[in-house]
Amino acid sequence: MDETILQEVFDIVVIGAGPGGSAAARVAAQKGLKVLLLDQKRRIGLPVQCGELVSQWIYPYLHPGSRSIVQPIDSLILHFPDGILYPMKSPGFMLDRSIFDQEMVLKALQAGARLLLGIKAIGRTPDGIKVRWRSKEGIVRSKVVIGADGVNSTVRGWSTHPILKSLSALQYEIYLPEPQSHGEIFFHPDYEGGYAWFFPKGKVANVGIGVIHPKTSLLKDLLHSFLGQLRGLKKFKQIEILFKTGGSIPCEPHPLPAFENILLVGDAAGHCHPVTGAGILNAIQGGEIAGRIAAEAVLRQDLEYLNHYEREWEEGLGNSLLYGVAKRERLEKNWNRSGMDFQELIRNCWTGFKEYHFDRRKGLL
Ligand SMILES: Cc1cc2nc3c(=O)[nH]c(=O)nc-3n(C[C@H](O)[C@H](O)[C@H](O)COP(=O)(O)OP(=O)(O)OC[C@H]3O[C@@H](n4cnc5c(N)ncnc54)[C@H](O)[C@@H]3O)c2cc1C
């Protein structure tokens, strides 16, 4: 790493070069601020830990002529254990997440942000953050810190609410003999608090399962039996596993994503949808708000201004996340209740079914 960076003072340091961090760095740099984006990884976006499905609303954030789209998705088919299917219009894209993340970083660099890779944030100091690279340590000085460092965020650890509830997921990339234009979601009482997915991506497909504790210890068995089910359903001769990945997906927003001179963004702030776990778009939208608010706070020389982040986030997407939190509570509370109508529960709690919105209309949640 270029150690002269340790002699400088930045306006904003963004920890984590995922979609959330890159969006924040881009917007702050566009306002003329001195921004440093850093990541512990040596290669942006790798290894991929994502199902790579995004809604069409990602379109404005794509690089012109982006190489990150592998294929469009026209709809989702939702499967219930009794064989009932619900097709749903759901236009979107399957991404190559590593290319997508690299393109997002490129946009931040084009806006004037600087990038450091292979450097890990390990602590905070009164004037910035403590970092480690190889076996060395140093301090990066900055007026504002944006924590976009993912679900196991170090920066969130400096807040009063360091742990967020999460789903655990395991995913395999498999060879796909026939192309497919729709994604598929599978619900089953064994996939507690979560679901399984089959997302086609050109000549491969991402096949995964996410569940809550205590089912997490069964993830591998659940995924293997799901692969067996797919084999029958899709008449695959055999299933070739090309890549294994997984990780945690936060399912509750952080109650205080702005504290002192710090803003939390994306998974670090728990900004995935609490029921579906979709988080790419939310990370970008939250990142853009955080970048703008951080830049404004520095320009005004008023760190109190950082508190606007919470209000703006809530007005933008917070309400729909909080509604999702209430749905997740209902989902988990009723999952194992005897006599529970599984299909009714899912239809009430899974965004996309019309029943999901009933409580909002009735003013119940
Ligand atoms: C198995 C799985 C499947 C998923 N499928 C989908 C999907 O299909 N669609 C969807 O929308 N969402 C999906 N998600 C969620 C989505 O991947 C995340 O919401 C999204 O990546 C959040 O972006 P982010 O920028 O907040 O964090 P991340 O993309 O996690 O980026 C955080 C970055 O911070 C870096 N970092 C971490 N700690 C430090 C540190 N201390 N110092 C320096 N750098 C650090 C990491 O190296 C990483 O590059 C899935 C998640 C998982 C685990």
The total of other beta-carbon atoms located within 10 Å of residue 66's CB is 16
Please give the pLDDT value at position 275: 97
Nearest atom in ligand 1 to the alpha carbon of residue 247 is: 53
Please give the pLDDT value at position 1: 73
* Confidence bin at 328 (pLDDT 50/70/90): very high
Please give the pLDDT value at position 200: 98
In a 13 Å sphere around the CA of 310, the CA atoms on its Cβ side amount to 13
Q: What ranges in 73-146 are assigned the alpha helix state H?
A: 97-110
**How far is the centre of ligand 1, averaged over its atoms, from the C-alpha of 226 (Å)?**
25
pLDDT above 90: residue 168: yes
Distances (CA, A) of 62 to 83, 96, 236: 37, 12, 34
Q: What is the pTM of this model?
A: 0.96
CB-CB contact of 68 with 51 (8 Å): no
> What domains can be seen in the chain, in order of their start residue?
3-322 (3.50.50.60)
Please give the pLDDT value at position 64: 79
Pocket flag, ligand 1, residue 169 (CB < 6 Å) = yes
Pocket flag, ligand 1, residue 183 (CB < 6 Å) = no
**Mean pLDDT for the stretch of residues 337-362:** 90
**How far is the centre of ligand 1, averaged over its atoms, from the C-alpha of 18 (Å)?**
6
- List the structure tokens of 301: 């020389």
Please give the pLDDT value at position 235: 86
pLDDT above 80: residue 362: no
- List the structure tokens of 117: 């890779």
Q: Tell me the best of 42, 50, 97, 119 to mutate to test the pocket of ligand 1, counting ligand atoms within 8 Å of each CB and taking the most.
A: 50
Please give the pLDDT value at position 186: 98
Tens digits of per-residue pLDDT, 106-159? 999 999 999 999 999 999 999 999 999 999 999 999 999 999 999 999 999 999
Tens digits of per-residue pLDDT, 38-97? 999 999 999 999 999 999 999 999 877 899 999 999 999 999 999 999 999 999 999 999
Tens digits of per-residue pLDDT, 216-242? 999 999 999 999 999 999 888 889 999
pLDDT above 80: residue 205: yes
What integer best gives the mean pLDDT of the chain? 95
What would you measure as the largest C-alpha separation in the chain, in angstroms?
Answer: 65
**How far is the centre of ligand 1, averaged over its atoms, from the C-alpha of 48 (Å)?**
9
Please give the pLDDT value at position 314: 86
**How far is the centre of ligand 1, averaged over its atoms, from the C-alpha of 66 (Å)?**
20
Please give the pLDDT value at position 365: 63
Pocket flag, ligand 1, residue 23 (CB < 6 Å) = no
